[in-house]
């Protein structure tokens, strides 16, 4: 399919010249002669590239305003700005906003084609990079058969027709963003923007600008996350990190559904579905006066809790098989031979949760091409159990060797039974069969050692 280019210039000679140059190279060309025509063409369909004159027919609107509109619609769309009398300041501003290049009139056929071809090549590379980076995550499913995951899946189904605000809690790497994306995809807003702002990554003095946007003295506007998410869904990741003072302004937006940009005087009306997530206990932060109680209740209309991976080890084999297939497809390699019954998968604490497991499977997938199963097992052991003398075992050995034999045996038995229960996903009968004990005797032993139910 031919690449489509939109040429926006109020000079008919320039429009005709540029159109002829491009059509001779088999590009599909649309044109706009003024600001209103340009708006119409941009809203009708974004082209693959825009050639845009700075000066148009309106005194209060120019190419910079159109550039902002195009960037807002798709930041990847390359825009080549042209002008015969622009200042260096305007050129710099255009590039700062997101223009691919700035060309002064008059320009040669070779120059415009050179910039067009480079811009389209850059566009394709960016699209491919964006696709590769996002295909994996955006296409991930919520995998698992544990009770906690099945509960989350049912909540997501019920939320598909709801507009309720949602608070997703759970440890880092448990899949909070994945759940938020799935809720958005299942909602009536699925074709509208899904915008993420990670409060944990922002500098202290940038929260309000990132959320509300900013207006500058020269008339330029920086759009905030609230505005970019209008009609769609906004995920505020690690919402606990928003400064206490800014929380009041977020609350006001939830109440009024409008806000003002920084340095702005005009109300901006928004219609968004807000999803928040946190790896910290917001209820505890409220009691510590570190998070506003009124905002907490506004956010926590529908709570979803994701549990750590180490508490739902029955999901680990399913996740390994799923990631193995996905990552092999993405990386274009053969699926590795991973022993899903390897004890280390069930005894490891998984501090990074599902994300850490996914990263491990990806590492194995990439590094283990043409490797034997024994080498893959060694790689897994090195990552999840680098030494028998890791800190946990050091503590256990130290405790055992400094205790009477009865206590040492008790320490060992407790660790051993916990390991076997995790391996068998908390199934008492399977564990009893494996270790050679009667089921009733195992129950008594677990009670004696103070070991409660393990999933």
Alpha-carbon distance of 121 to 143, in angstroms, equals 37
CA nearest neighbour of 186 among 145, 147, 155: 155
Do 49 and 85 have their domain in common? yes
- 288-310 pLDDT, tens digit per residue, is 999 999 999 999 999 999 999 99
Q: What is the mean pLDDT of residues 10-32?
A: 94
Do 160 and 243 have their domain in common? yes
- 228-260 pLDDT, tens digit per residue, is 999 999 999 999 999 999 999 999 999 999 999
Identify the domain boundary among 260, 277, 307.
Answer: 307
Instruction: Write the CATH number for 247.
Output: 3.40.50.300
Is residue 437 domain-resident?
yes
Is residue 455 domain-resident?
no
Is residue 402 domain-resident?
yes
Residues facing 167 on adjacent strands: 276, 303
Do 164 and 270 have their domain in common? yes
- 164-184 pLDDT, tens digit per residue, is 999 999 999 999 999 999 999
Do 181 and 129 have their domain in common? no
Give residue 56's domain range. 4-134
Do 337 and 297 have their domain in common? no
Do 100 and 187 have their domain in common? no
pLDDT at 405: 53
Do 297 and 400 have their domain in common? no
- 325-346 pLDDT, tens digit per residue, is 888 887 778 888 888 888 889 9
Instruction: Write the CATH number for 81.
Output: 3.40.50.2300
Is residue 66 domain-resident?
yes
pLDDT at 392: 47
Do 303 and 316 have their domain in common? no
Identify the domain boundary among 353, 384, 415.
Answer: 384
Q: What is the mean pLDDT of residues 116-132?
A: 78
Do 350 and 204 have their domain in common? no
pTM, rounded to two decimals? 0.60
Is residue 141 domain-resident?
no
Where does the pLDDT of residue 126 fall: very low under 50, low under 70, confident under 90, or very high at 90 and above? confident
pLDDT at 236: 96
Note whether 327 and 365 are within 8 A (CB): yes
Could you tell me what percent of the chain has a pLDDT over 90?
Answer: 48
Q: Which two tokens mark 161?
A: 């027709």
Asked if pLDDT for residue 439 goes beyond 50, the answer is yes
Asked if pLDDT for residue 349 goes beyond 50, the answer is yes
CA nearest neighbour of 234 among 161, 183, 290: 183
CB count within 10 Å of CB 335 equals 13
Helix (H) or strand (E) holding 53: strand 49-53
Q: Where are the beta strands (DSSP E) in 220-353?
A: 221-222, 233-237, 258-260, 267-269, 273-278, 302-305
Is residue 454 domain-resident?
no
Where does the pLDDT of residue 441 fall: very low under 50, low under 70, confident under 90, or very high at 90 and above? confident
Q: Which two tokens mark 346?
A: 């069930």
Instruction: Write the CATH number for 412.
Output: 1.10.10
Alpha-carbon distance of 162 to 115, in angstroms, equals 47
Taking every pair of Cα atoms in the chain, the longest distance, rounded to a whole number of angstroms, is 97
* Total domains, the chain: 4
- Report the mean per-residue pLDDT for the chain: 85
- 51-103 pLDDT, tens digit per residue, is 999 888 887 788 899 999 998 888 889 999 998 776 777 877 888 888 988 88
Residue by residue, DSSP assigns 205-254 as TSHHHHHH-EE-TTS-EE--HHHHTTTSEEEEETGGGS-HHHHHHHHHHH
pLDDT at 394: 45
Do 151 and 283 have their domain in common? yes
Do 291 and 175 have their domain in common? yes
Identify the domain boundary among 72, 106, 134.
Answer: 134
Residues 6+ apart with CB under 8 A from 156: 142, 179, 182, 183, 186, 304
Is residue 139 domain-resident?
no
Do 214 and 278 have their domain in common? yes
Alpha-carbon distance of 184 to 180, in angstroms, equals 6
């Amino acid at each position: 399919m031919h690449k489509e280019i939109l040429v926006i210039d109020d000079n008919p000679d320039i429009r005709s010249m540029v159109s002829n140059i491009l059509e001779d190279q088999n590009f599909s060309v649309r044109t706009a002669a003024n600001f209103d025509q340009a708006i119409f063409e941009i809203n009708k369909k974004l082209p693959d590239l825009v050639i845009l004159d700075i000066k148009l027919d309106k005194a209060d609107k120019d190419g910079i305003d159109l550039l902002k509109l195009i960037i807002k619609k798709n930041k990847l769309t390359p825009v080549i700005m042209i002008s015969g009398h622009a200042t260096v300041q305007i050129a710099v501003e255009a590039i700062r906003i997101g223009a691919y290049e700035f060309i002064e009139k008059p320009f040669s056929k070779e120059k415009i084609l050179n910039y067009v071809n480079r811009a389209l090549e850059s566009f394709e590379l960016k699209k491919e990079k964006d696709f590769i980076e996002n295909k994996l995550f955006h296409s991930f499913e919520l995998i698992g058969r544990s009770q906690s995951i099945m509960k989350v899946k049912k909540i997501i189904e019920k939320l598909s027709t709801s507009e309720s605000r949602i608070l997703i809690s759970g440890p880092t790497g448990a899949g909070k963003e994945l759940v938020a994306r799935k809720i958005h995809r299942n909602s009536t807003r699925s074709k509208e923007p899904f915008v993420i702002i990670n409060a944990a990554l922002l500098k202290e003095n940038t929260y309000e600008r990132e959320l509300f946007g900013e207006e500058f003295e020269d008339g330029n506007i920086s759009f905030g996350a609230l505005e970019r998410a209008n009609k769609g869904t906004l995920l505020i990741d690690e919402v606990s990190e928003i400064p206490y003072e800014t929380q009041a302004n977020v609350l006001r937006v939830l109440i009024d559904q409008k806000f003002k940009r920084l340095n702005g005087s005009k109300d901006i009306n928004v219609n968004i579905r807000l999803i928040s997530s946190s790896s910290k206990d917001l209820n505890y932060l409220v009691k510590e006066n570190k998070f506003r109680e009124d905002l907490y209740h506004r956010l926590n209309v529908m709570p979803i809790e994701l549990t750590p991976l180490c508490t739902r080890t029955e999901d680990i084999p399913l996740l390994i098989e799923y990631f193995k297939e996905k990552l092999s497809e993405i990386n274009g390699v053969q699926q590795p031979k991973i022993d899903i019954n390897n004890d280390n998968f069930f005894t490891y604490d998984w501090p990074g949760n599902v994300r850490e497991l996914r990263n491990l499977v990806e590492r194995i997938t990439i590094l283990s091409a043409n490797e034997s199963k024994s080498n893959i097992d060694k790689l897994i052991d090195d990552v999840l159990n680098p030494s028998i003398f890791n800190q946990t075992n050091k503590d256990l050995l130290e405790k055992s060797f400094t205790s009477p034999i009865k206590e040492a045996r008790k320490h060992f038995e407790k660790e051993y039974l916990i390991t076997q229960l995790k391996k068998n996903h908390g199934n008492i009968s399977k564990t009893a069969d494996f270790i050679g004990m009667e089921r009733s005797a195992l129950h008594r032993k677990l009670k004696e050692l103070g070991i409660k139910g393990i999933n």
